[in-house]
Amino acid sequence: MDLTTNRIPSIWQRLFTTTHRLGWVNAAGVHTRYLEAGPADAPVVVMLHGTAGSLENFCANVAAYARYFRVVAIDMLGCGLTDKPDHDYLISDYAEHVRATMDALDIDRAAVVGVSLGSWVGAALALAYPARVDKLVMVAPAGIITDAEEEARVAEGVRKRRLTASADPTWETVHAAMKGLVIDPATLSDDLVAIRLAIYRDPRMNAAMPHLLAFSLGGQALSEAQWRSLSLPIQVFAAIDAPNMFLSNAYAIARTVPNADLVELHGCDHWAQYEQPDAFNEASISFLRRP
C-alpha cells in the first residue's frame, strides 16, 4: 500500500515548525479565540475567515506570513470557539468585534486579509476606522452586488447548507457545507472537516447559526460610493476557474476602488488561500510588504 499518494497536509503538518500560540481574549465582553504567530514587533496582519468558519481556514498561510508579520487569525463573532451572543450579527457587529479584538491585543493598526465574509468585514472596518487598517487583501470578495438575483440565490444556498449542518452536525452535512469552497473536494483535509464538525456540535451553535447568517438576508452591502471612498491599497483575488458571483465581485471591486491590485489565480474556487497557498502567499505577502 502506497501511503504517499493523495495525502493532504493536516493543519498541524502546516504549523508544527512555526512558533505560534492559541489563546482567548476578552474583546468588549466577547470571549474570543485567536491564533498568533510571528515576531511581536513586526507589522500586524489580521486574518478573517468566511461565513460560520474559523481561524483554521488560514492553516496554509500562517507559517509563510509569520516570517514577515505578526499574524493574528481570529474566530469572528459567534464563530468557531468565540462567544455567541444572543442577537443577530450584522456586518457592523462583525467589524466592531474585530476592532475590539484589536484593542484587546494592543493592535493600533493592521493589514487585513479576509475571505468572503471576512473580506466584507475588512472593508467595513476600513470604512468605519480608516486609521486602523493599512491594507486589505480580499479573497472571494463579498459586500458588493453585481447581480441582485444571483446574490439572493447564493445567500439562500449558504444559509440552507449552514443551517442544515448546525441542526444535524454529521460528517456528511458538514462536508457538504464545505465542499463548495474548493474546486476539488478531495483537497479538504480530514482535520479541517473534523474541526468544523466539532464546532457545529457545540451545543450553542444550533441556536447561534441564524444570528451568524443574519447579515445574508440583505441590506448590508456597501454602496458604490462607499467602495469608491476606500482609498487604502486593496488586493483582490479572482478565482478565474470558478465563474460565479464571487468572480464577478472581484472584478467589480477591482474596477471600483481607486487603489486596486487584481490577482487572477487558476486552480481554486472560494478558498484561494487554501487551494493555491504558494501562489496566494507569494502574491499577497509581496503586496503587503510593498511600501
pLDDT given for residue 7 in this prediction? 80
> What pLDDT score was predicted for residue 96?
98
Q: 190 burial class (0-12, 13-18, 19+ CB within 10 angstroms)?
A: exposed
Q: Give Cβ neighbours of residue 199 (< 8 Å, ≥ 6 apart).
A: 54, 79, 80, 81, 205
- Phi-psi region at 186: left, alpha or beta (left = phi > 0; alpha = psi -120 to 50): alpha
For every one of its 291 residues, what pLDDT tens digit does the chain have, with 9 covering 90 and above? 344 444 899 999 999 999 999 999 999 999 999 999 999 999 999 999 999 999 999 999 999 999 999 999 999 999 999 999 999 999 999 999 999 999 999 999 999 999 999 999 999 999 999 999 999 999 999 999 999 999 999 999 999 999 999 999 999 999 999 999 999 999 999 999 999 999 999 999 999 999 999 999 999 999 999 999 999 999 999 999 999 999 999 999 999 999 999 999 999 999 999 999 999 999 999 999 999
Residue 242 C-alpha from the chain's centroid = 18
* pTM reported for the whole predicted model: 0.96
For 190, residues 6+ apart whose C-beta sits below 8 A from its C-beta are 8, 10
Q: What is the pLDDT of residues 13-50, one digit of tens each?
A: 999 999 999 999 999 999 999 999 999 999 999 999 99
CATH of domain 11-147+219-289: 3.40.50.1820
Spans of all domains in the chain: 11-147+219-289
What lies within 8 Å, CB to CB, of 157 at 6+ separation is: none
Q: What is the pLDDT of residues 74-88, one digit of tens each?
A: 999 999 999 999 999
pLDDT of amino acid 3: 42
Gap between the Cα atoms of 92 and 121, Å rounded = 8
Dihedral of alpha carbons 86, 127, 215, 71, sign: negative
